[in-house]
Every structure is written in C-alpha cells, then in structure tokens.
Structure 1
C-alpha cells in the first residue's frame, strides 16, 4: 500500500495508486459550492506527484472505500491543494460511505467504462415540479466524473437540493460520464401515487344526480357539446337519447375487402324472404306514387 509518507519513492511500472487519507467535508474549506455540487474531491499535492510517476489512464478516476462498512463509491479529482494526509469530499458522498469527519478512507486509482445508460429515482415528489428534468440533470452531471449504482447523489436547482438514487447504470455498476453520450431515464419518485379515477357526477334531465363510469367518458358522443345563448343564459343541449346512461359505443362498419378502384358499390339492406313471401306475410307490396292528392280548390258538387 502506498501511504502519504512515501510520495517521492520510485515505483515499478504496472503498479496502481493506493493510499489512505483522513476524510473531511468540503465545508471545512469554506465556501466551495463548486465541489459540494459535484462528484469530485480535493487531494494533497503528494498524491499528484505519486500519480505522475505511475502508468495510469486519464482522466484520473478513483474508488473510495470505507473499510469499516465496506461501502464504496467512485469519483474524480478537482484539485491537489489539500493538506497532507487529508482529502475533502462532498457531504453527500460522506453519507453514502457512512463516514464522519476525520475517518480514514482508502483511495484506489481505477479505470471505468464509459456510460451508455443510467436510471435515477428521485427521493422526493417535489422533483416532479421541474419542467425539464433531463435538462436539469444533464447540466448538474457536468460537475460529476463517475456514477455508482446504489449511490444517492445531490443536485441543486433554483436554490433547492434534490436527491437522486442511482438505480441502474450500463455497461457496469460504476461508469465514467466524462465526454459520453448517455441515455437517461427516471423511475417514479419515492412516495408517488398514481392518481385514481373518480366517477364523475352528472345531472340528468329530471334534476337527479347520477354517477358515470370513467370508461364511458372515453366513448364518442356526437354533438355532445353545450350551446351558448345570446342572452347569456346557460342551457344544456343534451337530449334524452344523448345522456351518458343511454349512450352506447358507436358501431363500426365492416370494410369491403372486394373493393376495386374506379368502381362504386350501392349497398341496400334487404329483409330476408322465406318461400317468396316476407317474414310477416302481412306487409303490402311497394307501389310507386300510391299517395292521395289534394286540390287547392274543391269542386262544387251538384
């Protein structure tokens, strides 16, 4: 293990960086909102000297491990200006690691795959008040370097802090989000409930209230609107046959599968005939112009 006391030693090629530091929150440095809002830490200068002597991949990514609870997370580095033997990390990262001020944290240099997909679950229903959550998340993740499944990251928007639980990440449990094209999805927030459909009460023509099924509201109702009068009075335009209790789903016609382009078909509904007679046997045959005329002036009868 490489501690912070042998930073100027020569290391053989192929070795990775590993050190143990005391962990403190960023608030110990004063007003450093740029660190608190992101996923990067501040390390001592000796760590930079050690990393430059090793054959590591850039950008520099690290795994933070709490040996007492075996909690892990991943991060990037923002600056190398911390006191020797100390690191400063965001407070939300300390909560994920379950550490207090001054606890020891092991840091390992790692190489992570580039992220292609991530799914988040907001920890509050207030997150639904954001008009464009994907744009807000994209802007906030610019200050992050890694994502780890099981972490609860914190972002700020309009002076309000929102916590997001990392449900899923691809192609691995820990991914790098530096210069990547990542698809983002959201799960329902914690405590969110789907709105229930309540039957709507309508008033019939006789003044009595009746409940309607929500599924009936989706049926097509021809001329089901409400008219407006010039004198300002309100009057319903529904008739007895258009009330919700009597509305039935519209009948759909059967298409003519034998239709040929350029032809016209006249379809007539003919009642079935049995033995050359109609079903009733009492209906009179149709006679054209069989009505009775009326004269404007009656003839005088002698």
Structure 2
C-alpha cells in the first residue's frame, strides 16, 4: 500500500490597514525603518501569515486604492498596533498617502534581481566618491525594488533620492541575497561639459594681452608725472594722446611673458643698508678733519 500526500498550496494574504509614517510610531524614534524599504505590521498579521504558509522571505504588494499607486516592500517587525501599519516617509510619498489612509496589502512572490538602473534626483550625488559602494550599503535595508519608485538613502547625514528607472527580470524584483548589476543615469538637471577644441584654445590665447595679467605698479615710477606751465595756462594739444602706462620690469610672483627660450636671468635682491651702520658712519664722519703733512722737513731754530 502506497500513501499519497498532497502539499498544501500557500494561500494569498490580502487585507487592509490604516497606514501611518514611522514618525507616528509610539516609543523611540525608529531611524532604521526610515532608512530602508521595510514596514512594521501588527502581531495578528504574523499569526495569519503563519497559518497561510507564506513563502519566505515575506514580500508584500502595497496598493493605494484611492490613487492606484503600487509598490513592493518587506516586513521588519510585527509590533504595530492592531489595524495599523507604519511605513517609511519616502514610501508614503510614492503611494500618495496621507496619515490614516487605507492601504491594501497583498503577499507577493518576486523574481531575484539581476539588473537595476538608478537616476539621482540631484547633482549633489556626484560629490560621492564611490556611489556604488554607498548604494550597496544602503540597499541592505531593502527587500525589493519597484520600477518607478523614488527611494531615499542617507549618506553623511544627507538624504539622496534616486529613481528606479529599470529592473530586471521584472518591474518588481527581490534584492535579498542576489548578484545584481547596477548602473546610474545622469542626474536630473545635469549637462555634459562642452569640450573646447585645441584650435579654439590657441586662438583665444593669441587674443590675450600678457601684460594685462600683471598687477598695477606700486610705489615710485620715474618720469610718470605731468608738466605744468609757470604762467598757469593749459597747454593746448591738437591730437591729445593718453598718458603712457608704465609697467614694472620685474615683480615677485609675476611670470615674465617676454621670456625667450635659451635666456637665463639671475635676479638678486638688493641688500638694504643697515640703519644702525648708517647712523654710526654719519656720527663718526667729520669733514676736513684729517692731519696734513708737508713734503719739506721743518727746520727748528735754536
């Protein structure tokens, strides 16, 4: 006699709850829920899921009956009040939900992800040195991804939003224990920098005046004044020319734009006279104070 047994097929879990954001959860602040893609459900849901032989990991399809928005998520804990569930704020934004709205929850079985493509919603995401590593670390708190969702990740106390543009092999995939390839699309509002050709750069450099980069000369400039007549009259000039602009021959920190290849200039700083030595020289010097000598020998008369 052979006995035949029949495996009990899992029955779907489908019910409605009042949804609230994680900030409304009584007790301590749950940042771990806000930074991921999992929800908190009541204990009665766990009892019902156990009796229905739900396939693990537990994944759910969330539907807003009023707006028709759909997303998918996992479950973190079963500690919510009866008849209520708590969602991350970014998930409530995707579903167009307000505090206390009704939400349909249905058990789901999703394929394992092999590919996903994200689009940052801000150019600030380009400041991250290794975005794939940051995203991989953030997705550890997620159970699944849905195409079209805008997920929020936190890095260095700053929130970055990324839109899920594409997922394979389906529009909703499970990312638990999977090997997934990730690509990034250009951020919203980002434009590629224009490349300047070498010819246009050379033309631009030819039009520049090297002397215009030199700073203004400070201090005394020889022959830079203006002439004045003794009788006070103004000199009349038919073709009045602008006064010449004097440039310093050399200034520290300014390159020599007239440099010719093969010439070397050794510029040495002029040694300033010590004020103390100058004062001692002036104090000891006396004019016509030397001792005179005669070529003839003086005769002494006795």
Q: Shorter chain as normaliser: what TM range?
A: 0.5 to 0.7
Distance (Å, rounded) in 2 between the aligned partners of 1:102 and 1:179: 34
SS of the aligned residue for 2:139 comes to helix
Distance (Å, rounded) in 1 between the aligned partners of 2:209 and 2:68: 72
Distance (Å, rounded) in 2 between the aligned partners of 1:52 and 1:203: 79
Closer, same or farther: CA 57–14 of 1 in aligned 2, 3 Å: closer
Deviation at 1:131, TM superposition (A): 0.3
Partner of 1:173: 171
Distance (Å, rounded) in 2 between the aligned partners of 1:102 and 1:206: 70
Q: Are positions 1:150 and 2:153 aligned together?
A: no
Partner of 1:32: 30
Rg larger in 1 or in 2?
2
Unaligned runs of 5+ in 2: 1-7, 212-254, 263-302
* Residues 127-136 or 196-205, more deviating: 196-205
Unaligned runs of 5+ in 1: 1-11, 209-231, 239-302
Deviation at 1:53, TM superposition (A): 0.5
Distance (Å, rounded) in 2 between the aligned partners of 1:206 and 1:130: 40
Distance (Å, rounded) in 1 between the aligned partners of 2:83 and 2:209: 84
Deviation at 1:204, TM superposition (A): 7.6
Runs ≥4 in structure 1, deviation > 3 angstroms? 204-208
SS of the aligned residue for 2:76 comes to strand
**RMSD value, Cα:** 2.3
Deviations 1:158-205 (A, max 9, x none): 010000000000000000000100000000000001112344221389
Distance (Å, rounded) in 2 between the aligned partners of 1:96 and 1:177: 19
Structural mapping, 1:137-216, within 5 Å: 137-198=135-196, 199-200=200-201, 201-203=204-206
Partner of 2:17: 21
Distance (Å, rounded) in 2 between the aligned partners of 1:205 and 1:52: 79
Distance (Å, rounded) in 2 between the aligned partners of 1:184 and 1:70: 28
Residue of structure 2 aligned with 1:113, choices 111, 114, 122: 111
Distance (Å, rounded) in 2 between the aligned partners of 1:132 and 1:104: 40
Deviations 1:195-231 (A, max 9, x none): 12344221389979xxxxxxxxxxxxxxxxxxxxxxx
**8 Å Cα contact 2:19/2:86 also seen in 1:** yes
SS of the aligned residue for 2:103 comes to strand
Length, aligned pairs only:
205
> When the two structures are superposed, what TM-score results if normalisation uses the length of structure 2?
0.64
Structural mapping, 1:17-166, within 5 Å: 17-29=13-25, 30-166=28-164
Closer, same or farther: CA 109–205 of 1 in aligned 2, 3 Å: closer
